[in-house]
Chain A
Amino acid sequence: MNARTLYDKLWDSHVVRSESDGTALLYIDRHLVHEVTSPQAFEGLKLAGRKPWRVGSIVATADHNTPTTHWDLGITDPTSRTQVDALDANMLKYGAKAYFPFRDKRQGIVHVIGPETGATLPGMTVVCGDSHTSTHGAFGCLAFGIGTSEVEHVLATQCLLTKKAKSMRVNVEGTLPFGCTAKDIALAIIGKIGTAGGTGHAIEFDGSAVRALSMEGRMTLCNMAIEAGARAGMVGVDETTIDYLKGRTFAPKGELWERAVAHWRTLRSDPEAKFDRAVTLDAATIAPQVTWGTSPEMVTTIDGRVPDPDKEKDPQRREGIERALVYMGLTPNTAISDIRIDKVFIGSCTNSRIEDLRAAAAVVKGRRKADNVMLAMVVPGSGPVKAQAEREGLDRIFTAAGFEWREPGCSMCLAMNDDRLEPGERCASTSNRNFEGRQGTGGRTHLVSPAMAAAAGIAGHFVDVRRLG
């Protein structure tokens, strides 16, 4: 057989049938569901008199709308509550493999709880009505976000109609410098290839720097694949993957575990496999990244400066920079380290796992939030992440430094709950999108790693975490 990429292997093993134009009916193993993109799908199913094909494929939670304080009060916003109530009702009516409702100890961001429960396993196709489903590709899965009509299609048929994407390999070789993380790799890649650089492609991340990442780091990297325009990001299976999964709630046990592991070890690209496109990055040249604009590709290093649009030759790009600087309230050539912030957000499906919280806590330990920072919030990705952090005393480190320790959820990554920026407020955020209005109408988002967000909270402005000591 010809040498195949990991993507080829995952694709081939899920094709139920193909149309003459290449459209395939792809079987879906795991369907993750949350409250924002599912109500219309369940409604459509009901109106058509259909039932879910296999509820055992569904793992669901409420995450986007849920508050991060005063859980005892419930969800006070009536429109948010309507959506969460709708998910409760649909789960009660149809059932699921697992449902972690609001206030459940295991509730959390859908892309955190999938892996942490072992509901995400190598070799699966994983879909969710959420673009950051690419996160699960870290486990050697084909994982991608879908729209609500496709959610309904998967509910009704356990399949998706789709065409194979092109393949792209992003090799990150070498050793990542001290103070740099998977988030910095992700932003550096997006800075290099652009937010449409991966459009039409499934990206496989590989190379010694990727192999050296923990599963948490690989999830951060694959999570941001969508920000490079790629629908899916993935990393081949190795011992790190297998070690992470062992003993997880929904991971196989005993003899089945051995059989599964033997299969999972094949889930890597063959050495001779050909990719449609390849990009290489030298990890040693990566420095802590900070975005300055309103698209993740508008990024530079902590040593950098806000760009000068007059130096941009391409008129469309120049206009884009000018518009972004007006929105962000920034002057060309300002040093990134001179940008003062109002708020800090540590959380989101990109950076809310235990490793992220440890990295942030290591920076704030024994220090105090700067006076000009009116709010620094830490939102763990799930109940189990929160509990683990509390066992390690991270919550006390944060609160002693003046950071708020919150309940899990998507929170201020997209500000569907009460956590948001007010117009003009500037935030150091560990989330994934710095779009206009993303964290609140008029809010200004700078994407950074957890350590860099924590450091900015201490200094009151962006600061090189490598020099903080």
Chain B
Amino acid sequence: MQPFSVLTGLVAPLDRANVDTDAIIPKQFLKSVNRSGFGPNLFDAWRYLDPGEPGTDMSRRRPNPDFALNEPRYQGAQILLVRRNFGCGSSREHAPWALGDYGFRAIIAPSFADIFFNNCFKNGLLPIVLPEADVERLFHDAAAFPGFKLTIDLERQTVATTDGGTVFRFDVDAFRKHCLLNGLDDIALTLTHADEIRAFEAKRKAEQPWLF
């Protein structure tokens, strides 16, 4: 997994609440057996005026000029700014895969849905929860100042304007922070406790054999 330490990136605002994972990556693109290649179809139904299917020639697609991510000023954005309950619905990890493949490294919202939030950490994508009022202010700034960037420092747990004038602090679980900072494979970490797992399993099997 790609480590995450400090990121200074362009901010793209998507002014919608309750964005579900069906909207992030529609189901017709879930048929892939790979983890990559989902970026061109991120937000497909909102981003394009024509319907998209796997295998559609992307050079012939018609981008929706009214969709924020299609605006020239937000090209190359690495930080997505959204409203509350982002990533609700389906557990599909294709959603963070698509966001990452598009180029996003962090998402800022007042709240996230649980499964999506978890999935982000497994893919080097940092979901940041900030209070509603702070998010509101960032929406304002992202609209008001072309080229608006933020610097995210995971070690310090801060989101700051590039002039350092405004700094927001955010919370992150210590364990997740550790894994993300170091790009750790958490399966390898868990397997260092294999003996404990085996002992737990043996005890469980003795006590409740019907579970096995």
A150 lies within 8 A of B88 (CB): no
A82 in the interface (beta carbon within 8 A): yes
B209 & A39 in contact (Cβ 8 Å cutoff)? no
List, in ascending order, chain A residues with CB within 8 A of B186's CB.
153, 161
A199-B114 contact given A416-B27, A416-B30, CB 8 Å threshold:
yes
Give residues 148-200 of A contacting B (CB, 8 Å).
Answer: 148-150, 152-153, 156-159, 161-163, 165, 195-196, 199-200
Residues of A within 8 A of B193 (CB): 16-17, 25
B residues within 8 A CB of A129? 91, 93
- Residues of chain A within 8 A (CB-CB) of B190 are 25, 153, 156-157, 159, 161
Whether, in the assembled complex, A205 has its beta carbon less than 8 Å from a beta carbon of chain B, the answer is no
B90 within 8 A of A: yes
Query: By the criterion CB–CB under 8 Å, are B175 and A21 in contact?
Result: yes
Q: Which of B54, B175, B210 contacts A79 (CB 8 A)?
A: B54
Q: Are A158 and B173 in contact (CB under 8 A)?
A: no
Cβ A123 vs Cβ B23 within 8 A: no
Given contacts A149-B93, A316-B17, contact A437 B174 (CB under 8 A): no
A83 and B122 contact, Cβ closer than 8 Å, known pairs A199-B113, A260-B210, A414-B27: no
Provide the bound-state CA to CA distance between A80 and B32, in Å.
Answer: 9
- Chain A interface size, as a band, is 35 or more
B133 interface residue (CB < 8 Å to A): no
Q: Categorize the interface residue count of chain B.
A: 35 or more
Nearest-CB residue, chain B, relative to A27? B200
Cross-chain contact of A436 among B17, B23, B55, B196 (Cβ < 8 A): B23
Residue of B nearest to A415 (CB): B27
Give A29's nearest chain B residue, CB to CB: B211
Within 8 A of A (CB), among B65-122: 83-85, 88-93, 96, 111, 113-115, 118-119, 122
Total A-B pairs, Cβ < 8 A = 184
Give Cα A252–Cα B83 distance, bound, in whole angstroms. 48
On chain A, the residues within 8 Å of B119 by CB distance are 147-150
Which residues of A, 80-128, contact B by the 8 Å Cβ criterion? 80, 82-83, 86, 121, 123-124
Q: Which of A1-60 contact B (CB under 8 A)?
A: 16-17, 19-23, 25, 27, 29, 36-37, 39-40, 43, 48, 50, 53-54, 56
Among residues of A, the one whose C-beta sits closest to the C-beta of B191 is A157
A324 to B20, CA, bound (A): 14
Interface centre among B16, B22, B31, B175 (most CB of A within 10 A): B31
B58 touches A (CB below 8 Å): no
Min distance, Cβ A329 to any Cβ of chain B, angstroms: 16
**Contact check: which of B26, B84, B91 meets A131 at CB < 8 Å?**
B91
Is A464 at the interface (CB under 8 A from chain B)?
no
Minimum CB–CB distance from B154 to chain A (whole Å) comes to 15
Residue with the greatest number of chain A CB neighbours at <10 A, chosen from B17, B90, B210 = B210
A433 within 8 A of B: yes
> Chain A residues with Cβ under 8 A from B23's Cβ?
435-437
* A433 and B22 contact, Cβ closer than 8 Å, known pairs A156-B191, A416-B31: yes
Nearest opposing residue in chain B for A84, CB measure: B31
The answer to whether B111 and A123 have CB atoms under 8 Å apart is: no
Contact of A23 with B211 in the complex, beta carbons under 8 Å: no
Q: Which of B118, B187, B197 is A48 in contact with, Cβ under 8 Å?
A: B187
Question: Nearest 10 CB-CB pairs, A to B?
Answer: A149-B122, A252-B210, A147-B93, A147-B119, A79-B31, A21-B174, A39-B33, A145-B91, A131-B91, A196-B85
Can you report 30 residue pairs joining A to B where beta carbons are below 8 Å apart?
A: A21-B173, A22-B173, A23-B173, A25-B190, A36-B30, A48-B185, A50-B187, A77-B31, A79-B32, A131-B91, A146-B91, A147-B122, A148-B119, A150-B118, A150-B119, A152-B187, A156-B190, A157-B197, A161-B186, A161-B190, A162-B118, A163-B173, A195-B85, A199-B85, A200-B114, A231-B115, A260-B208, A320-B17, A435-B23, A436-B45
